[in-house]
Every structure is written in C-alpha cells, then in structure tokens.
Amino acid sequence: MDAAAWRGRPEVMEVLLKYSPFPSKLHSFHRDGYAPLHRACWGKRARHSQVVRLLLEARIEPELPSVNGTTCLELATRQETKDIVALHLQQSSSRAEEVASEKGMRSEL
C-alpha cells in the first residue's frame, strides 16, 4: 500500500483495498513513521489525489498524524495540492478547515 500511495497509483490501491488479506495495513506506519495516506498527500499529480480519495472512502482517519505529528492536510498545504485540501474539506473536518484557512487555501467545492 505504501508503494501504491507514494507512486500515486489509484488502480493498484483499488485492488489492494478490495483484496488485501491485511486490511490493517491501511492504518499501519512504515518504519519511517508515515502511513499510505501521508505518502499520497506528498504527491502533486491528480493521480495522488485519486489515491487520497480512495483512502478516505476506505475510512482512513483524515487527521491521522505521522510520527512527527504531521497530517495529510498539512503535507498537502505545504505542497499546495489544492485537490487534496478540497478532499479533506469535503470530509467536514474542522481541523482541515482551520489549516486551509491559515494557509489561505480556500477551495471552490
């Protein structure tokens, strides 16, 4: 799951989410302290946003902190990935709205 998220491969992530014998991998952290959600949030391409959407639809916690406390939303705002910020805003996360507002990244939904 880490590789599919990092590379922004929604078609692979879809298969993994559907058929993985290890659904807990979705919430697990790599030894570097990041989960698949964080890896997808680093990407700037539309395919990374598609992976984030799949992970959120699979009920991953949108505000899941990394080992250093960084969330997907914070990674996305640093990268100025407005699609990912918009996905978080659609999840009605109060923290997402707060961080997006701080960064001046309001999105038209």
- For residue 3, pLDDT over 70 is answered with yes
What is the longest distance spanned by two Cα atoms in the chain? 41
**56 domain-assigned:** yes
**76 domain-assigned:** yes
Q: What CATH number is attached to the domain comprising 39?
A: 1.25.40.20
pLDDT, position 60:
85
105 to 8, 48, 80, 96: CA distances (angstroms):
22, 18, 8, 11
Encode pLDDT of 30-42 as tens digits: 888 899 999 998 8
- CA–CA distance, 104 with 5 (Å, rounded to integer): 26
**107 domain-assigned:** no
Domain count, the chain: 1
Domain ranges, residue 8: 2-102
Which of 71, 88, 81 minimizes the C-alpha distance to 45? 81
Which of 62, 61, 58 minimizes the C-alpha distance to 73? 62
Encode pLDDT of 8-30 as tens digits: 999 999 999 998 876 666 668 88
Encode pLDDT of 48-103 as tens digits: 989 999 998 888 888 889 999 988 888 877 766 667 766 766 665 555 556 566 66
